[in-house]
Amino acid sequence: MKGRPPPKSDAPRGRKPAGKPTGDRRDGGKPADGKAPGGKPGERKAYGKPSGPPGRARGGAKAATARKGEGGKPAFKAPYKKPAGKPAPKPAIVKDVATAAAPAKPSVAKGVSLDVRQYRVQPDDDGIRLDRWFQRHLPDVGFNIVSRWSRTGQLRIDGARAAPGDRVAEGQMIRVPPAEAKAPVPERVKRSNARVIDLTDEEIAFVQDMVIHRDAQAIVLNKPPGLATQGGTKTDEHVDKLLDGLMFNAEQRPKLVHRLDKDTSGALLVARSSRAAGHFAKAFSSRTARKVYWALVIGIPSISDGMIELPLAKQPGTGGEKMHVDEEEGLPARTRYRIIERAGNRACWVELQPYTGRTHQLRVHLAAIGHPIVGDGKYGGKDSFLTGSISRKMHLHARRIRVDHPDGGRIDVMAELPAHFANSLSDLGFDLTLGDMPLDDEIDRTPTREDEKKFARQHAKQVRKERKGERRSRGGSRDE
C-alpha cells in the first residue's frame, strides 16, 4: 500500500507517548483534534484528574495548529520534575528603611528594645519641646534618661545632637537609643481607708494633754519648749509626728498651718480639715490673724511702746540656720513691742506682736536693738543669760492667738506659761495679772466727755493764736 510513512516515534502506534500529553494544561491533556487517544471521536477518556471543570472549552483548531511543531508533530514539553532535597529558601523581602523605621505613630512596646529607634515628627507635635515629645510618645523614658542621652550624644534630630529643651518640627527624624532595662517594680499593697496610728499610748496621751481648744475645724495646742514643730536633721520627736493622736475619730489627719521655734513655747494652731487649713493659711498670709508673745529681755528699751522695722535675710555661711539684719537685700520685717513691767535696769517683761512672719524675727529684732531675749544664746551670746535663779532656757512664749473661724466667729485662745518662765517672772517680782494688755483694735477709741472738753479747749486756743497773728500783721502794715 502506497502512502505517506507514519511519523517516527519510540512509542508504539495507538499508545500515548511518555511525557506530557499533547496540548497544554488548558486543554486537559487531549490531542489537538479533540479525540481521546485510542478512542472514538468525541469520547472522553481520562488519563488522570482533569485540570479544568467539565464542559469547559478545551481549545480550538487554531490553538491546536499553533501548537504543532515542524512537520505537523505536536510540540511536547519536558515534564516538570521536583528537585530532590530541601526546598529552596524564599528570597528575603527588602523593606524600605525609611518607611519601616518611621511609623506614623510610635508604638510603645513593653520590655526592652535592643535596636536604635527612629521616629518621624507628626504634625500634631510640631513646635513642642523634645522632652514633651517623650512624655507624649515614650512615657516610660524619664527626663533623667533623656538628659543623659543628650549629654552622651545618643539623642539626635536629623543627625544632629539634640537637647531636651530643643523644639521639634514636623517631618524631622528623631533618633532614640535602645531602651534601658528597668528593675521590676514590686506590686503595691492596697491601703485600707482606715488610718493606722503608729503611736504609743504614752505619745497619744502626751499630745492630747497639750490641747487647750478643740472644735470641729481647729485645735490649739500649748506646745512645750524643746519640742520641734516639724522634723528635720537629727529631729525625730516633733509635733507633726504626733498629729495622728489628735484625730479624735475624725476622717482626716490634722494639718499644721504655722510653726513655732523648737525652744519657743505656747499656742500652736492646727487645722482639722483641708478647708480649715486653707482658711487659716489665708488668714496668716493676709495678716488678719493676730499673735501675741511674751518675752523676758535683757535691759530696758529706751522707748516703752515702739515698732522695730529692720529687714532680715539669711546669714551667709550658716546654711540658712541663722538670720541677720540686711538693709540691702533683706525682706521687710516689723515687730511691735510694749514694756509690761521692769525689774530695775536688769531686765524687763515685754509683749511682742509680729506684723510679719520672718524666721526668728522676734529674736533677731530684739538682739539688734541691744536687748536680747533671756536664754537666747544663738543671737544674744553670753550676754543673754541672767545670774542667780533665772533659768538658762529661752524665755519666749506664744501667749495668745486670735483668728477668724472658718464657720464664723473667732478663735481667741491664751496659753499658760511653762514652768521655767513663770518661775523667772516670780523671782523677778513681776505681777502676772499685768501681762494681758488689749490689742490696738480692742481699745475703745470712743471719746469721753473729758476728751471732748479737752479738744474744745485746744481748738479755742489755736483760734486765738491765729487771730492774734492777724492783728499783728495789720498793725505792721499801717506803720509802713
> Residue 360 domain-assigned?
yes
* Same-domain status, 398 and 324: yes
- What Cα–Cα distance (Å) separates residue 220 from each residue in 212, 266, 294, 361, 409? 6, 10, 18, 22, 16
* Same-domain status, 319 and 413: yes
Residue 148's domain is classified under what CATH number? Answer: 3.10.290.10
Phi-psi region of 91 (alpha: psi -120 to 50; beta: other; left: phi over 0): beta
Alpha-carbon distance 350 to 355, whole Å? Answer: 16
Instruction: Please name every residue paired with 292 in a beta bridge, in sequence order, or none if there are none.
Output: 400
> Residue 40 domain-assigned?
no
* Same-domain status, 342 and 385: yes
> Residue 265 domain-assigned?
yes
Q: Which residue, of 231, 256, 283, is where some domain finishes? A: 283
* Same-domain status, 137 and 218: no
Q: Which residue, of 259, 283, 307, is where some domain finishes? A: 283
How close are the terminal C-alpha atoms of the chain, in Å?
185
Closest CA to 356 of 329, 327, 332: 332
Cell numbers standing for residue 245? 493622736
> Residue 259 domain-assigned?
yes
Q: What H or E segment, with its residue span, contains residue 176?
A: strand 173-176
* Same-domain status, 310 and 414: yes
* Same-domain status, 125 and 171: yes
Alpha-carbon distance 256 to 230, whole Å? Answer: 9
Q: Which residue, of 176, 209, 234, is where some domain finishes? A: 176
Residue 431's domain is classified under what CATH number? Answer: 3.30.2350.10
Alpha-carbon distance 276 to 270, whole Å? Answer: 9
Contacts of 476 (CB under 8 A, 6+ apart): none
> Residue 432 domain-assigned?
yes
* Same-domain status, 420 and 388: yes
* Same-domain status, 422 and 302: yes
Alpha-carbon distance 170 to 189, whole Å? Answer: 43
> Residue 47 domain-assigned?
no
* Same-domain status, 172 and 307: no
| Candidates 24, 115, 198, 261; catalytic one | 261
Domain around 422: 298-442
* Same-domain status, 107 and 172: yes
Per-residue pLDDT of the chain (480 residues; tens, 9 = 90+): 445 555 555 545 545 545 444 444 444 444 444 444 444 444 444 444 444 444 444 444 444 444 444 445 555 455 555 555 555 554 444 444 333 444 444 444 444 446 789 999 998 888 889 998 998 889 888 888 999 999 999 999 999 999 999 999 999 999 999 876 655 555 554 444 556 678 899 999 999 999 999 999 999 999 999 999 998 778 889 999 999 999 998 888 999 999 999 999 999 999 999 889 989 999 998 889 999 999 999 999 999 999 999 999 999 988 778 999 999 999 999 999 999 999 999 999 999 999 999 999 999 999 999 999 999 999 999 999 998 889 999 999 999 999 999 999 999 999 999 999 999 999 999 999 999 999 888 877 677 778 788 888 888 888 888 887 776 666 655 555
* Same-domain status, 247 and 370: no
Per the annotation, the verdict on 261 as an active-site residue is: yes
Contacts of 118 (CB under 8 A, 6+ apart): 101, 102, 173, 174, 175, 176
* Same-domain status, 256 and 305: no
Report yes or no on whether pTM surpasses 0.85: no
Total domains in the fold of the chain = 3
